Structure 1
Amino acid sequence: MEGEEHSGAAKYKAEILRKMGGKAKSVYTLNDNEIHVLAGKEDIADFCYYLHDSFGAKLVTVVCSDERQVDRGFVLRYVFAKEKDDVFVFVTAEIRKDAELSFPSIASRIPSAALYEREVKDMFGLLPEGNPDTRTLVLHEQWPADVHPLRKDFAVSTKVGRVHDSQYPFTKVEGEGVCEIPVGPVHAGIIEPGHFRFSVLGENIVNLETRLFYTHKGIEKLAEGMKLDQALLLSERIAGDETVANSMAYCQAIEKIARARVPKKALQTRTVCAEMERIYNHLGTLAGMSTDVGFAYGAARLNILKERMMRLNEQVSGSRLLFGVNRIGGTGIDLKDKAQLVTTTNLVLEDFKRVVSMLRSKSSVMDRLRNTGTISRQVAVDLGLVGVAARCAGVDIDTRRDHPYAVYSSLRLDRHHDTPQHTMEYEVE
């Protein structure tokens, strides 16, 4: 359903038609700030390169869906964001013939697409032609090569037989003094399994290979066929520390499809709870970093602040992890004790400032953090980094400001021009 065009969307739609209209099967706007381009498979790369190199848009994600039941074959969607004007561009291509289950890779010029393409290969069986790395990503060596779990003809109840384990082709770094150190997948802590293969030269990490997804839960497949409210509960449980973020994204998707209006009070409640979730996660991250550099006292102080925020979560929502906050079309809670919320967060802020001052005074902590794991701005842009990691590299990006949701458009979120490159993540957190 097409609607009234967002001023930025209208301008950019005209620009896309002028520059690339000859290769587009159709170009239209949707949902106010979205431009949708339907292209042939052979023109995917040209459109993506134009949007990335000339149009100045950032690749946000690549998604695939199995739409063979409605005679569209497999459908690839490349989503680009024009940060300045809050406009999204969707490049869509249909792959209809089973004999040609491939698509042109864009990873050589847009590196942030590489992992998305490998995921599409694993989950749908479409080969990204030209991707220099087509190793499995999500699926492991025991999984049959011809079974692709996000195809519609794969049932969630399917029992998949194990095949003979093969050796994953890790990249070998050779040379005098290079040592290979395998870590995991089983770890001493409570984190989920992951294998890390370090190639080191002295204290310098030359290369790192990762194997993740050992406990992939099949969330997308589980959600197929669920009622909307059931899928909402599932979205809250994708990751406990992202309860509000994931469930809000799900609710916003359903609300956008239904063109439902959400009351302002509910939007305000969502925003407050999203920030509460963000605060306790930042505190937990900083505590973890303090542990990593061997400063247990700093970690303990920060974990105390995290605990205070989680207790506040329980007071305002009934859940330490903020379960039950979001509902389709509104919220499941009402922020009643606003005075307590303000008082507690202000006290946590004051204590946090004291902890930060103490940490900055510890040369043993700062020496281990400075110039460790630095990344250049260009590499951050190429890899599509977001959030704190991007801002550490000098990339001015903040989704709350660039693509505001809930009531973020009415809040002042400063730009990060003053964040120098190679700023420690500790400082930005």
Structure 2
Amino acid sequence: MQGKRVLLIVSGSVSAFKALELTRLLKRAGARVTPVLTAGGARFVTPHALQAIAGEAVHEDLWSLSGEADVGHIRLARLPDLVVVAPASADFLAKMAQGRADDLATTLLLATDKPVLVAPAMNWAMWAHSATRANMAVLAARGVRVIGPNEGAMAEAETGPGRLAEPAEMFAAIARLLDGPRPLAGRHVLVTSGPTHEPIDPVRFIANRSSGRQGHAIAGALAALGARVTLVSGPVAVPDPAGVAVVRVETARQMLVACEAALPADAAVCAAAVADWRTAREAGQKMKKVPGEAPPPLELALNPDILALLSAHAARPPLVVGFAAETENVVENAVAKRARKGCDWIVANDVSGDVMGGAENAVHLVSAAGVEDWPRMPKEQVAARLAARVAEHFA
């Protein structure tokens, strides 16, 4: 999305705070975001916060003497590559369907000749109302694209469809609209992400600090390039990427079964931090601490090596990518791991700091051609860059 321009209209909804995170994701991907805040939207987010994240002036007033000195609403309407309304309240969607032009945001939508994407957000009863359904049908007939809404808890302690799509989902939808050609269309990519939990007893397990943020971002970036993505995920708290088939597992052995079931695939990206060991015997009951006695010994057994098994599989994907999380001798260990596992590429990173669970990563791409050192960048950009390299490989 480098250099693409997005006109982001924020209308009145308690979920308007998600527009700030969406703006951050777009900026990190290289897009320019021009924010437009309605009077209702300004009840939930301040223009100061939106402007600080977007790095551009927030537009609010159709009657601004300075902004309209050069018929600014027409200039703004012609400026972007895409217009996004997030959140789009029931009231704002009704105004769009009616062709109203009583404030800056609705006037821009009438004046623009660019694609429009709306992300509805409202109470479930408002979303289900026949008036809203009719308005959405009118907008769909005009070519307006829609992302969401999702189903879940509401601000008013009710549950149902009407939640604003998550920022990562909206970002993926925007990426698909802006990126044009989809070089991975027709390709199937298997991605693993997150940690595995290896049970010790019914209440304890062996795990690591992986958040799944990098693996999930990779799955979303591959989907944005047109790939059909199967994401096999360990237990994580990050949202599912949009347009991706997710298989949830807990243990390494379950992850292996899910990966083999997903084959054949054109590529496999093994970004999960799979536990190397599990307990040889899981206790059927909670292991009790007994005063005065030593802790019970834990006998460990090796888990299956998913990366090595996929690299040697009878249905081996033509491209197998592994990850190496190291705390020392990062590149040297990654080069050795690539040879040992039999994969095509290794993405190596130093996890001695705040990488696991953090927002940024600095990686080295190790392949038969040598080692590429990538600068530290947001994990979403690492994902986009890796997805682009996968697309180049198949080109």
Flag the structure with higher strand content: 2
Flag the structure with higher helix content: 1
Point out which structure has higher relative CO (alpha carbons under 8 A, 6+ apart): 2
Q: Normalized against structure 2, the TM-score is what?
A: 0.31
Q: Normalized against structure 1, the TM-score is what?
A: 0.29
